[in-house]
Structure 1
Amino acid sequence: MDFPQRVNGWALYAHPCFQETYDALVAEVETLKGKVPENYQRKAATKLLAVVHKVIEEHITVNPSSPAFRHGKSLGSGKNKDWSRVKFGAGRYRLFFRYSEKEKVIILGWMN
């Protein structure tokens, strides 16, 4: 996935923090594809990349204002309320993003 990109009517941008993590994951999958082309799809990195794409395309860009993406006070009270969070991978991973309903823009900020 290249950024910026338009998905489900939303313009998607990647913050450098997200882009760095995403690019490293893509590179790892490409390396696996070269080393073990017969079963790289079964590797954890490949599955994680597929889930990241699914989360972005089927969840975040469908309804970024979903209450499921609110994080309460886990990032402190007040100053981080503009950030939303999606959990995936059985709650092991998180992707933080901001969005503007008016501009139809989503910025993918960080992923662990």
Structure 2
Amino acid sequence: MTESTIHIENGWALYAHPLFIARLEEITVAVERAMANDPEGFHHHPVYKLFDAVSANILINVPSDPAHTCYRQGNTLGRDFKHWFRVKKQGIPPRYRLFFQFRSEAPKTIIYAWLNDEKTLRKDGDKNDVYAVFTAMLLNGKMPNSYTDLIAACGVLEYGSSTTGTEEE
């Protein structure tokens, strides 16, 4: 990783995988388009609601307690992937999932890995189900499974300007 400013929320350093960053950029562009098309009512658009919910989760909800039981998956991804956590509900539309890992040893770190899109919504048993797609990404190496490999593939989360503190890496 290169030297950069680390985004800190509630004592947690926030990192993001390139797939999550790309998805966040897609959503941001869609929100900007909605704002341009409807400056008065864009905040009612579904993409803005998704953006708002993802923002609240990555900057507030998850950093307040990434180990909370609501983020645990059980065996949904299989026994080898129990160290992965996901956000569901928490303001995010029902068929979306935001996957992350964290480590509470110093330095406390949260890594946001992937947020599904409209083509990979939750549909149990479907080959494009969000969990099936994410499991395939882990199995084929598109998403690093180990914390060490994952952090090496990630960058600092550069998002918003409401940090509660920054540190130099």
State the TM-score, normalizing by the size of structure 2. Answer: 0.61
Deviation at 1:83, TM superposition (A): 0.9
Q: 5+ residue gaps in structure 1?
A: none
Matches within 5 A, 1:20-59: 20-59=22-61
Larger radius of gyration: 2
Q: Give the 3-state SS of the residue equivalent to 1:18 in structure 2.
A: helix
Please report how far the alpha carbon of residue 73 of structure 1 lies from its aligned counterpart in structure 2 after TM superposition.
0.7
Counterpart CA distance in 1 for 2:37 and 2:87 is 32
Matched, 1:14 2:3: no
Taking the aligned partners of 1:34 and 1:101, their CA distance within structure 2 comes to: 41
Are residue 99 (structure 1) and residue 102 (structure 2) matched? yes
Aligned residues: 109
> Does residue 82 of structure 1 match 2:86?
no
The 3 A distance-change label for structure 1 pair 4 and 46 is farther
- RMSD over equivalenced CA pairs, Å: 1.5
1:21 touches 1:111 (CA, 8 Å); kept in 2?
yes
8 Å CA contact 2:20, 2:115 repeated in 1: yes
Deviates more, 1:83-92 or 1:48-57: 83-92
CA deviations 1:11-50 (Å, max 9, x no partner) are 1111011111111000100111112111111100001100
Moved over 3 A (4+): none
| Cα distance in 2 between the residues matched to 1:91 and 1:73 | 20
Q: What residue in structure 1 maps to residue 112 of structure 2?
A: 108
Mark the runs of 5 or more structure 2 residues left unpaired by the alignment: 117-169
Q: Please identify which structure carries the higher strand content.
A: 1
* Contact residue 50 and residue 93 of structure 2 kept, 8 A: no
1:38-84 per-residue CA deviation (whole Å, 9 max, x = no partner) reads 11111000011001111223321000011111101110112x12211
Identity of aligned residues (%): 36
Q: Is the 8 A contact 1:4 1:14 kept in 2?
A: no
